[in-house]
Amino acid sequence: EAQVTQNPRYLITVTGKKLTVTCSQNMNHEYMSWYRQDPGLGLRQIYYSMNVEVTDKGDVPEGYKVSRKEKRNFPLILESPSPNQTSLYFCASTKGTEAFFGQGTRLTVV
Amino acid sequence: KQEVTQIPAALSVPEGENLVLNCSFTDSAIYNLQWFRQDPGKGLTSLLLIQSSQREQTSGRLNASLDKSSGRSTLYIAASQPGDSATYLCALSGNTPLVFGKGTRLSVIA
């Protein structure tokens, strides 16, 4: 079954404690991306990757890092999380122009 | 910069009604358009993808149209059911990252 898998689904952490949200896709897609979703602001792109070792900033990259060492994985790294990064995060994998999304990670930073 | 607007932001209808959700975009250059459904706290499920060369797509009770010249897309839902209650998002895709509207929250009342 074609899918995008994010982990964890829920995470509560404290300010400043580094964390990683993993994302994996089994569709051999080249393009992957991360979004955050906030009430009233909708979905905004954080980072995207057009292929292995090729990443670029989206609309709201501050406070985030990503890596793309292999095609299937695209982890999102928060080196020093802050409360304003409390949000619902989605990873997406795109083939052509059709995007497939993970189930989301609800992150709370206290 | 491309902007996507969805009207109305929220809609409540009785079961059985036909309804139309609207999506407009500012840059009428050729884009593909994708409609998603999102249940509360959940991920995004792709409903329909309209390629730039197409004018509409149908899946079951759903029909989506695309008019690039006017910068508009509509999602038509026939014979609405309580199970259709969700937030519906449109997003423009292509060589650039997906740009999302903020969604229409639909409630179908039994």
What mean pLDDT, rounded, does chain B reach? 91
Long-range CB contacts (within 8 A, 24+) of A15-19: A15/A80, A15/A81, A15/A82, A15/A83, A15/A109, A15/A110, A16/A80, A16/A81, A16/A82, A17/A81, A18/A77, A18/A78, A18/A79, A18/A80, A18/A81, A19/A77, A19/A78, A19/A81, A19/A107
Confidence of residue B109 (pLDDT cuts 50, 70, 90): very high
Question: B100–A42: do the CB atoms touch at under 8 Å?
Answer: yes
Confidence band of A99 (pLDDT split at 50, 70, 90):
confident
Question: Contact B18/B61 with Cβ under 8 angstroms?
Answer: no
The rounded distance, in Å, linking the Cα atoms of A72 and A3 is 11
**Chain A interface, Cβ < 8 Å to B:** 33, 35, 40-45, 48, 58, 88, 90, 92, 94, 97-104, 106
Q: Which residues of chain B have a CB within 8 Å of the CB of A41? A: 102
Backbone angles phi, psi at B82, to 5 degrees: -55, -30
Contact B97 A97 (CB under 8 A): no
Instruction: Give the position of tokens 């179908």.
Output: B108
pLDDT given for residue B14 in this prediction: 97
Q: Do A92 and B98 touch (CB under 8 A)?
A: yes
User: Considering only CA atoms, which of B106, B102, B97, B39 is closest in space to residue A42?
Assistant: B102
Report the alpha-carbon distance of residue A52 to residue A74 in Å, rounded. 9
Q: What is the DSSP letter of A98?
A: E
Q: At A85, give phi and psi (nearest 5°).
A: -95, 5
Phi/psi of residue B83, nearest 5 degrees: -70, -10
Which residues in chain B are contacts of A42 at CB distance < 8 A? Answer: 89, 100-103
Q: Which one of B2, B3, B98, B100 makes the best mutation probe of the A interface by having the most chain A beta carbons within 10 Å?
A: B98
Given a contact cutoff of 8 angstroms between Cβ atoms, the answer to whether A20 and A28 are in contact is no
Question: What are B's interface residues with A at a Cβ cutoff of 8 A?
Answer: 32, 34, 36, 41-46, 49, 51, 89, 91, 93-94, 97-98, 100-103
- Is B97's CB within 8 Å of A100's CB? no
Of A58, A97, A101, the CB nearest to B49: A97
User: What are the phi and psi torsion angles at A84 (to 5°)?
Assistant: -75, 0
Q: What is the pLDDT of residues A13-48, one digit of tens each?
A: 999 999 999 999 999 999 999 999 998 888 999 999
pLDDT tens profile B17-70: 999 999 999 887 767 899 999 998 788 999 999 988 889 999 999 999 999 889
Q: What is the pLDDT of residue B43?
A: 86
Q: If we measure between CA atoms, which residue out of B22, B36, B31 comes closest to residue B2?
A: B31
